[in-house]
Amino acid sequence: MGGSSRRAHPTTHVGLLLVAVFAAALAVTTMTCVDAGVTSAYRRQLLASVDMPLDSDVFRVPPGRNAPQQVHITQGDLEGSAVIVSWTTADEPGSSKVLYGTSKDKLNKSAKGSYTRYQFYNYTSGYIHHCVLKDLMYDTTYYYTVGVGQTERQFWFKSPPKVGPDVPYTFGLIGDLGQTYDSNITLSHYDSNSNSGALLFVGDLSYADDYPFHDNVRWDTWSRFIERSAAYQPWIWTVGNHEIDFAPEIGETEPFKPFLHRFPTPYKASNSTAPFWYSIKRASAHIIVLASYSAYG
Ligand SMILES: *[C@@H]1O[C@H](CO)[C@@H](O)[C@H](O)[C@H]1NC(C)=O
Ligand SMILES: *[C@@H]1O[C@H](CO)[C@@H](O)[C@H](O)[C@H]1NC(C)=O
Ligand SMILES: *[C@@H]1O[C@H](CO)[C@@H](O)[C@H](O)[C@H]1NC(C)=O
Ligand SMILES: *[C@@H]1O[C@H](CO)[C@@H](O)[C@H](O)[C@H]1NC(C)=O
């Protein structure tokens, strides 16, 4: 795995997904006789490390009036020709529009999304925007801008090649990331591998639930922390036990509430009935996402 940064809180939820992912990887490997080899000798340290403090550089709010923060993308359809762009504005809704295009200085397409908010005990979220960019060309670099009309921020991503039986593609794999100093080292190590086109995130995201009242401010800090990668390549989400956020003792009885508001998945494209269960195709891989902490039908 790319990095289990939270040894202090081991969890065991990822078995099913890993079986699915590895089965897919194995099938591809066997068919094409590819040996990806060893990509690096990196090993995270075994000792548990502590969470980065709230005033850490990686949690900094971007400057500017109501500036979009916590920008991240995920695949938006079954075969990779759509992307869901998500971001949060803190002070007022602002625009849910995304401007995008293939030329950095001429974003001649636009898509309109919408925003949501939620409360968790005494925490109130910012305005969480989600916008789907559809009908993208394959294997193409797209630039996109959020914060239209206020503080605009521009990012880019590369769409995947068209799905096929023998299409090389490199995935990253991270789970259990959290927001410790070691989480930052894990992410920096991942960033340094420029080959990877998308990240399979195998559950346990922010660990906000370790805090009293599941302090959801730690969901915001986590999402700002991962922006440096997740705004530029899709992170494919699976939930683990740390996303359940079921806390009847403080009146919070809707499982997965923070996750569901913040991290959309393209589950409808695979005819799934719930965001925790879905599949996507990307290059030569058919990735099946299963969630052992949610009921299924
Ligand atoms: C948008 O810009 C791209 C890149 O310059 C160009 O290829 C495309 O034709 C333009 N589309 C429209 C609708 O103007
Ligand atoms: C939420 O409640 C806790 C416990 O009473 C308190 O420490 C915290 O400051 C409160 N947060 C907000 C945003 O009111
Ligand atoms: C996190 O890692 C980045 C990149 O290596 C570094 O610039 C930053 O100072 C680190 N922050 C913390 C709090 O460790
Ligand atoms: C989803 O269901 C529709 C309608 O039955 C069908 O046309 C489509 O092929 C299904 N998609 C997948 C990925 O199974």
Residue 193: per-residue pLDDT: 84
φ, ψ of residue 185 to 5 degrees: the values are -70, -40
pLDDT for residue 14 is more than 90: no
Q: Which atom of ligand 4 is nearest to the CA of 270?
A: 13
Residue 158: per-residue pLDDT: 98
* Confidence tier at 33 by pLDDT (50, 70, 90): low
CATH architecture of the domain with range 67-289: 4-Layer Sandwich (3.60)
Residue 17: per-residue pLDDT: 36
**Atom 1, ligand 3: which residue's CA is nearest?**
184
Residue 36: per-residue pLDDT: 65
Which pLDDT tens digit goes with each residue over 208-225? 999 999 999 999 999 999
pLDDT for residue 269 is more than 80: yes
pLDDT for residue 102 is more than 70: yes
pLDDT for residue 89 is more than 90: yes
Q: Which of 42, 54, 55, 58 to mutate to test the pocket of ligand 3 (most atoms within 8 A of CB)?
A: 58
Ligand 4 pocket member 271 (CB < 6 A): yes
Ligand 4 pocket member 30 (CB < 6 A): no
Provide the percentage of residues in the chain whose pLDDT is more than 70. 87
Residue 8: per-residue pLDDT: 41
Q: Which atom of ligand 4 is nearest to the CA of 269?
A: 13
Higher pLDDT, 42 or 162: 162
Average pLDDT over residues 236-246: 97
Average pLDDT over residues 116-130: 98
Which pLDDT tens digit goes with each residue over 43-81? 877 887 899 999 999 999 999 999 999 999 999 999 999
Average pLDDT score over the chain: 89
pLDDT for residue 22 is more than 60: no
Q: Cβ < 6 Å from ligand 1: which residues?
A: 101-103, 106, 108
**Atom 12, ligand 2: which residue's CA is nearest?**
122
Residue 27: per-residue pLDDT: 39
Which pLDDT tens digit goes with each residue over 254-263? 999 999 999 9
Residue 42: per-residue pLDDT: 79
Q: Which of 30-34, 129-133, 176-180, 229-233 shows the lowest mean pLDDT across its residues?
A: 30-34
Residue 179: per-residue pLDDT: 98
Average pLDDT over residues 260-267: 98
Average pLDDT over residues 2-6: 41
Ligand 4 pocket member 151 (CB < 6 A): no
What residue segments make up the domains of the chain, in order of their start?
Answer: 67-289
C-alpha 23 to ligand 4 mean position (Å)? 23
Residue 160: per-residue pLDDT: 98
Q: Which atom of ligand 4 is nearest to the CA of 271?
A: 1
**Atom 2, ligand 1: which residue's CA is nearest?**
108
